[in-house]
Amino acid sequence: MLSALAGAAQRQEVCALVDASDSFDPASAATAGVNLERLLWVRCGQPATVKRTAGEMKSRPTGFAFSGVLEQVLKVTDLLLQSGGFGMVVLDLGGVPVKSAHRVPLTSWFRFRRAVEPTATVLLLIEQEPCAKTCASLVLRLQSETIFVSNSDAFDRSQYDLRFLSHNVGYRNFAMNIPNNCAVGHASLLRGMGFRAEMVRSWTQRKPPQSAGTHFEMRTAP
Amino acid sequence: MFACIYIPDFPVEAIVRAEPLLREHAVAVLEGKLPLVRVIALNERARQLGMEIGMTKLQAAVFSRNPSPTRDSIGLAVLRQRSCEQELSAHAALLDVAHAFTPRVEDTAPDTLLLDLVGLDRLYGAPAKMASDLASRVIAVGIEANIALAANPDAALNAARGFSGTTIIPAGSEAQRLGVLPLQVLLDAFEIASQKKVGGEAPRRQEEKLRAQMLDTLERWGVHDFRTLALLPEHALASRLGERGAKLRRLARGEGMRTLVLCAPSVQFEEAMELESPVETIESLSFVFVLNRLLEQLCARLEARALATHELCLRLQLERRVADEEADTVDDLKTLDSHNVAYPSIFKRTLRLPVSMRDSKVFLKLLQLELAAHPPGAPVIKLWIAAEPAPPRTAQRGLFLPVTPEPERLEITLARISSIVGERRAGIARLLDSHRRESFCVDRFALTASGISHIASPTLSEGNNHIPLALRILRPAQPLQVCLLAGRPDTLVLEKQTERTKIQGKVLWSAGPWRSSGDWWTEKMKQDVAMGPWDREEWDIALALTSIDQENKGDVGVALYRIYRDVATGNWFADAIYD
């Protein structure tokens, strides 16, 4: 997600992030190269409070029949897509339980698809399991595979795929160049994570694509 | 060449400007305190009904209540209380129009302006073109006025007061054109032309008495119009009526030239309206109509001066509530204040716009959303809207730059989003210069030139496969129960397991602790957890992920978390997930 936002920042596009679980870390984004001044961050999850009557504060969604976070997310996304002009709108449902995410009606995804089809806006949905179904033009599955650490204390290497830098000559040079004042992670020990990305479905090509997969790594920021 | 803009029945016109539907009705304006409320101004339709200035309220009410069988609802007279705010707004609008036309403007009277048009023919064209252009600009701000152009200011003033519509008097034919006007017009204009500032009640009565005597004298002589007065010999007239008589004769002949007393253009843009009855619900159509009308007037004034605004200030005068009246003592009022029961008499909201705008529909929507988020809490009886003038937006986008949101639509979208997710929950994240975790604030989202700067970022597209590691923050931090083994976290479980976060199990790998503390010197902020001092030990840990599938329970991978121990309390919290 941050890479996509950083790419949009390089293209000088204005982006919006609808954060369903309020878990976005601005420091991580800044490290990844996201231009925070061009990113509209919408923090969902907390209903708006409206002063309705004298002497009491009623906490309720303002004027509309919103009952949960997902309703907020859908409404905000609708507004952003209708407003137009955004290069990328990201819906981060990564922190939303799968059961809740599946409750979003398919008509909403169809509406969003219709809204972005004639525009240059990219609607990016981050979720634990695909719930947009056939409305998605491209579905990618990302899975963590490897964690790179620099010591082996109290860790069963036989069970999990962790690479220890002290045993790997290739990474040792890399570790020496990392300063200790890392912005995001504690770089002296945690080096990064390895992921596998697989294209599940794509409508962006005329023929259905062959199964394609790749590996990439994320490292603590230098 | 000089021009005069004169608004006949100014108090009526000021009210009709705010309520354009009244233009088709007979309108009478009342002033005074009961029982001495009298009609002070009428429009032409009201005169046709038989109403007169000086009528009492009871007499005027007859025309508004008992329509004759042949009279429809339009024939009924509408009675309105005089509104000084609306008159000031109308006068300010007129000044804006005049200053947009020429910088040389004399603020002669609330209903009269004199404009120096010398040298403007090359800009606006012939006098007829200038007159029609001026008339259309005056109509654009919602006012119907008489406009006259003449070679000297006094002739223009008399023509505007005497002739309705647009009048152009060529140089040299002033006496001929003004000759048909009644003497009353001359005496009315004379006081303005002589720039007499009559202060106090007694001098004003004395002046009115003198004027009545002079009118009586002239009528006894058989002088009823300008032409007759202009034919009288100057010396004989001066010997009988003094200097005043000679001046009157020169004005009647359309002669003489004087220097205009110029006024500076106003930089205050404010519109006001007093409501006939208190409006309790701000969503009501009547309130929206009033708001819309005021905004349209404000935008028309800004447009007349080629300006826009970047700040709108809405003030509402609220009706005193019963709760306030029941509060007998100061302590009661304080108690009510603490419960937000007692409201101030003036409710104020300010809209700060990131770019200068001049669209009344956008302003209306933004104000509606603002008032929906912050209701005044009491019936509204009067409202003011003021705009801070600013030069209009002149930025031109490049052809090959990516499309950005339209500022007007973006503002409305942001206001709507704020009403859904709450204030200060949508905007730009700005990192603060601090070592504290979560040291950022959310600023208002605005597309500025500084945000367009190119930022080099490490992305896959550049062939750099090492993407920086990111964190997914758990807000608020989740309390943990941690068992230690040899000073390191061994097993942990969330104190309150939720559907969203399930963190528990044996720690596979841990690294730490990293100690950080700060802000211990800020005594004042100790109560505020978010901004107060902190002292924590952070750990990176790896936990086995369990499958969500109930049938195939088992470990499916490893997840990395960042947990910390609050040194002050000794409690453990889950802070973030490495993503």
ipTM, two decimals: 0.72
Q: Rounded to 5 degrees, what are φ and ψ at B471?
A: -115, 145
* Contacts of B99-107 spanning 24+ positions with Cβ under 8 A: B99/B265, B99/B266, B99/B305, B100/B137, B100/B304, B100/B305, B100/B306, B101/B133, B101/B134, B101/B137, B103/B265, B104/B260, B104/B262, B105/B260, B105/B262, B105/B263, B105/B265, B106/B153, B106/B260, B106/B261, B106/B262, B106/B263, B107/B261, B107/B263
Structure tokens belonging to residue A36:
């925070």
Contact B16, B139 (CB under 8 A): no
Please give the DSSP secondary-structure letter assigned to residue B56.
Answer: B
What's the predicted TM-score (pTM) here? 0.71
B3, HSE (Cβ side, Cα atoms, 13 Å): 31
- The answer to whether the CB of B152 falls within 8 A of the CB of B161 is no
Helix %, strand %, coil % for chain B, to 5? 35, 30, 35
Q: Check if the beta carbon of residue B377 is closer than 8 Å to that of residue B337.
A: no
**Interface contact B509-A84, CB threshold 8 A:** no
B566, two tokens = 């609050």
Asked whether the predicted pLDDT for residue A11 surpasses 50, the reply is yes
Q: Which pLDDT score is estimated for B372?
A: 87
Res A49: pLDDT: 47
A62-88 pLDDT, tens digit per residue, is 333 335 788 888 999 999 998 888 888
Token pair 């300008």 is at which residue? B226
Chain A hits for B451, CB-CB cut-off 8 Å, are 35, 37-38
State the pLDDT at residue B6.
Answer: 93
Cα(A103)–Cα(A93) distance, rounded to whole angstroms?
12
3-state helix, strand, coil in chain A (%, to 5): 30, 30, 40
* Token digits of residue B538: 């952070």
> Considering only alpha carbons, which residue of chain B is nearest residue A39?
B428
Q: Cα(first)–Cα(last) distance of chain B, in Å? A: 77
Q: Which of A36, A42, A162 is opposite residue B417, by nearest beta carbon?
A: A42
C-alpha to C-alpha distance for A209 and B341, rounded to whole angstroms: 65
Rounded CA separation A17/B445 (Å):
12
CB B509 within 8 A of CB A164: no
For residue A93, which residues of chain B lie inside 8 Å, CB to CB?
Answer: none
Q: Identify the pLDDT of residue A51.
A: 42
What is the rounded distance in angstroms from the CA atom of residue B443 to the CA atom of residue B445? 6
Query: Does A42 contact B421 at a Cβ distance shorter than 8 Å?
Result: yes
Count of CB atoms situated within 10 Å of the CB of B64: 17
Sort strands B2-6 and B112-116 into parallel, antiparallel or unpaired.
antiparallel
CB atoms within 10 A of CB A21: 22
pLDDT digits (tens, 9 = 90+) for A161-199: 444 433 332 332 222 233 333 334 454 456 666 667 776
Q: Whole-angstrom Cα distance, residue B224 to residue B171?
A: 24
DSSP 8-state secondary structure symbol assigned to residue A135: G
**Contact (Cβ atoms closer than 8 angstroms) between residue B148 and residue B8:** no
pLDDT mean across residues, chain A: 69
Query: Which has the closest alpha carbon to B471: B369, B327, B576?
Result: B576
Strands (E), B61-206: 77-81, 105-109, 112-116, 146-150, 166-168
Rounded CA separation A31/A221 (Å): 7
pLDDT value of residue B365: 92
Strands (DSSP E) along chain A, which ranges?
15-19, 39-43, 49-53, 56-59, 88-92, 122-126, 138-149, 162-164, 190-202, 212-219
**Spatial CB neighbours of A177, under 8 Å, sequence gap ≥ 6:** A222
pLDDT at B207: 75
DSSP result, B121-142: HHHH-SHHHHHHHHHHHHHHTT
The residue ranges of chain B whose pLDDT is under 70 are 65-75, 192-201, 321-344, 395-397, 448-468, 497-501, 523-531, 545-557
Mutate to test the interface with A, among B366, B403, B445, B457 (most CBs of A within 10 A): B457
B501, B473 in Cβ contact below 8 A? no
Among A7, A22, A221, whose Cβ lies nearest the Cβ of B468?
A221
- Mutation target for A interface from B355, B399, B509: give the one with most A CBs within 10 A: B509
Q: What's the pLDDT at B2? A: 92
B146, B162 Cβ separation under 8 angstroms: no
pLDDT score recorded for residue B148? 93
**DSSP label at B74?**
G
| A60 contacts in chain B (CB < 8 Å) | none
Query: Residue B578 carries which DSSP code?
Result: E
Q: Give the chain A residue whose CA is nearest to the CA of B430.
A: A36
3-class state of residue B571 by DSSP: coil
Phi, psi angles (nearest 5°) of residue A134: -75, -5
Q: In this predicted structure, what is the pLDDT of residue B454? A: 47
- Output the pLDDT for position B244: 81
